[in-house]
Chain A
Amino acid sequence: MGPTVVMLVDDEVPFVETMTKRLAVRDLTVLNAFSGPEALEKLEKERHVDVIILDVKMPGMDGIETLREIKARYPLIEVIMLTGHGTIETAIEGMKLGAFDYLLKPTNIDQLMTKVQEARAKKRAHEDKIMQARLQEIALRRGD
């Protein structure tokens, strides 16, 4: 198993930059984007992303729209929403749309790390199941 690949999406540049450094020293491979479209664009090229940390409130394409798009295109990638107090409703909406969890800004880095690990584990488990199902299918085919 390789290192966990995380993509950080937020419109606040200093936030993204510092957070990237902090996650990197915690042995995560970090990609970043400063808007929804940019994130989708980068995902197009980089298929190994495990977890996306996604800001809800962004000008232009907001977090919810981006989430919907991500889930449509890459259903296996887990998304953790970052939200302010005033937009918990939005975070809940995000959960309904398939987000893994949400965290309030400012975030506690350890909490974030835990969530990332959990999300990654879930994703791996998901992938394993798919793999096994495929193997079984192949085995069945061979068996008859």
Chain B
Amino acid sequence: MENAQYYRSLSRNLVSIVIVVSFTPLLLIAALIGYSFETSYKGKSIAYLKETVKRNQQNIDVFLSEKLDYLKVLSRSYTFEELTDEKFLARKLAILQDAYGGVFVDLGVVNSQGIQVAYAGMFKLERADYSKAEWFKTAMKRTHFISDVFLGLRRSPHFIVSIKHNWRGEDYILRATVDFVQFNSLVENVRIGETGHAFIMNRAGEFQTKVGPETEANREFYMALLQKNGLKWEDGGLDAVSGVPSFTYSYWDSPYKEIILTGEGRRGGDDFVYIMTPLKSGEWVLVFQQDKSDAFRDLRRARFLALAILLLGGASIAVTAILVSRKMVSRIEMSDREKEMMNEQVIETGKLASVGELAAGIAHEINNPVAIMVEEAGWIEDLLRDETQMEASKLEEVKRALTQINTQGERCKEITHKLLSFARRTDPRVVEVNINEVLEEILSISEQRSKFSNVKLEKNLDPDLPHIMASPSELQQVFLNLINNSLDAIGTGGGTITVTSRLADDRLVVDVADTGTGMPKAILARIFEPFFTTKPVGKGTGLGLAICYGIIKKMGGDITVNSAVGVGTTMHVYLPVPKGAVP
């Protein structure tokens, strides 16, 4: 259960690492490229719109000044008498209408009192009195004038283009009405995309062209914008020569044709971009407005595409990460399991190896009593060969020999029992163990080997130790290994191995100390590594201590080692004592 959770969290971690690692650069690049693309695309789009708006600004300005120029030519070319001749005037209007396709609706001459003294056109405006009209008042102050769009006497939208001229000391005005529809089409033709359209406002915020209700609603917005951005036409008074007002722009100080204000606005849910530029010396403003979604249509498409790629890519990364992680974790799980199985096998092999080592000693031990028995039997045979002389002393000798055979047989039995009790299969079952019994058993098994190595085995066992929970067969393996190592370290020179059991800090400690050759630091650091051995090839597996370490660690204990070259080595085995078992 615990393992399943471990592998699950391992899998989770792998997935999140893979996703974070692959997503972070992906998102960063997407954001970076997206940002630069958007900026440059928007910049280009706006620049294109600006160009268009500027061209239209020029068109409109040209249109207006053209109309003025014609009036100027008329007023300069003909006398007041000629111009006030209504037939003459009608002829001129016909020429103009013919040349300009009905842009000019009518022509009129207004005297300084504001009375229209001559009129040509479709409305009956002869003798009309303009003395009270705003346009007339302004027109009289200037050499030329273009009015705002107004309804006027005819009750239909139009605007007036007028030239002031002097005839024999008295000013009069030659005025023409420009057809609103014609003028309006100039602006209406400025269409870009589906929603891009243009309109004209005067400085008071009055629309000078036809606008839809949506644009109508934007009036306040543009007014506020003009104020806020400081796009104020400050009246610099009238020009001394022409009488035309001169304006200074508090925000820009470039020539007015270059003045373009761009930005983005929002009304309701619709974002839009706008471009504003002054017209008619700044009395009017040409505004171009387009919905953002329309203006940046390609950008939206690109963005959508990028997002789709990002999502698809992300999804495939996530899926791949999950699949790969799962596969990897299951591999890890499998190899862990294999390793565990291998560990068990290694422990079993180690057990066999230590038993094998033991067997050589045991064989000798058995060989000796067997040899004695064989000799005694042979001796009896020798005695019986001469059957005729069966003396009492001979009988006595046979009896002694048989007793000896019996004694040696017992000795054999003891040895084989010892070996059998040890060599039983590795049994990892945990039972209550008296550590001293295990140590005594191992010491007795090792006695023979140590005798021939001239090693004195000393024991210093604390009789009051608590029992521990462990597998006796595993403990045997550990201590047999440690004692075998000590015997190897002492070699044939002779020495002492002291086995001590004691209690320290709630842990049971077994010290196996030898007076062997000791180990330098370099070796000491590696003794618990599997397959590390200082014995010649074929003599040691290098598994002994590694297995001991594994067994003791598995029990929750520890093995440490102290060693000094030429002095000896002491292994300390720490074994956990069950709670409550400490006396």
* A interface with B by C-beta (< 8 Å): 12, 14-15, 18-19, 21-22, 25, 57-60, 62, 84-87, 105-107, 109
Contacts and interface: CB of A to CB of B under 8 A. Distances in A.
Contacts of A87: 364
A110 to B, nearest CB: 10
B451 interface: yes
A18 B403 CA distance: 13
A106 B378 CA distance: 11
Contact of B371 (A22, A25, A105): A105
Interface string B397-414: 000010010011000000
Contacts of B100: none
Contacts of A106: 367, 370-371, 373-375
B interface majority secondary structure: helix
B379 A59 contact: no
A35 to B, nearest CB: 12
Contacts of A60: 454
B375 A62 contact: no
A18 B367 contact: no
B364 A14 contact: no
Contacts of B368: 12, 15, 105
Given A84-B363, A85-B363, A86-B360, A12 B454 contact: no
Contacts of B372: 12, 14-15, 18
Contacts of A62: 452, 492
Interface in B334-374: 360, 363-364, 367-368, 370-374
A111 to B, nearest CB: 12
A106 B391 CA distance: 29
Given A22-B379, A106-B375, 19 more contacts: A12-B368, A14-B372, A15-B372, A18-B372, A18-B401, A18-B404, A19-B375, A25-B382, A57-B452, A59-B454, A60-B454, A84-B363, A84-B364, A84-B367, A85-B363, A86-B360, A87-B364, A105-B367, A106-B371
Contacts of B367: 84-85, 105-106
Contacts of A85: 363, 367
B106 interface: no
Interface of B: 360, 363-364, 367-368, 370-376, 378-379, 382, 401, 404, 407-408, 451-452, 454, 492
Pairs A-B, 9 closest by C-beta atoms: A106-B374, A106-B371, A84-B367, A18-B375, A105-B371, A86-B360, A15-B372, A59-B451, A84-B364
A14 B404 contact: yes
B2 to A, nearest CB: 47
A24 B367 CA distance: 24
B102 to A, nearest CB: 131
A106 B408 CA distance: 13
Contacts of B408: 14
A16 B239 CA distance: 150
A86 B364 contact: yes
Nearest to A59: B451
A14 B407 CA distance: 10
Contacts of A57: 364, 452
B364 A15 contact: no
A126 to B, nearest CB: 30
B388 to A, nearest CB: 16
Contacts of A14: 372, 376, 404, 407-408
B364 A22 contact: no
Nearest to B453: A59
**Among B363, B372, B373, B374: residue with most chain A CB under 10 A:** B372
A106 B360 CA distance: 16
A15 B371 contact: yes
B531 to A, nearest CB: 25
A22 B408 CA distance: 18
10 contacts: A12-B368, A14-B372, A14-B404, A15-B372, A19-B375, A57-B452, A59-B452, A62-B452, A107-B374, A109-B378
B378 A22 contact: yes
A62 B454 CA distance: 10
Contacts of B376: 14, 18
Contacts of A109: 378
Contacts of A59: 451-452, 454
A21 B382 CA distance: 10
B99 to A, nearest CB: 133
B551 to A, nearest CB: 28
Nearest to A64: B492
Contacts of B382: 21-22, 25
Interface centre among A14, A18, A21, A25 (most CB of B within 10 A): A18
B552 to A, nearest CB: 31
B364 A18 contact: no
Nearest to A86: B360
Nearest to A85: B363
B575 to A, nearest CB: 33
A138 to B, nearest CB: 46
Contacts of A86: 360, 363-364
Nearest to A25: B382
A12 B370 CA distance: 11
A59 to B, nearest CB: 5
Contacts of A21: 379, 382
A28 B33 CA distance: 110
Nearest to B361: A86
Nearest to A58: B452
B414 to A, nearest CB: 16
Nearest to A18: B375
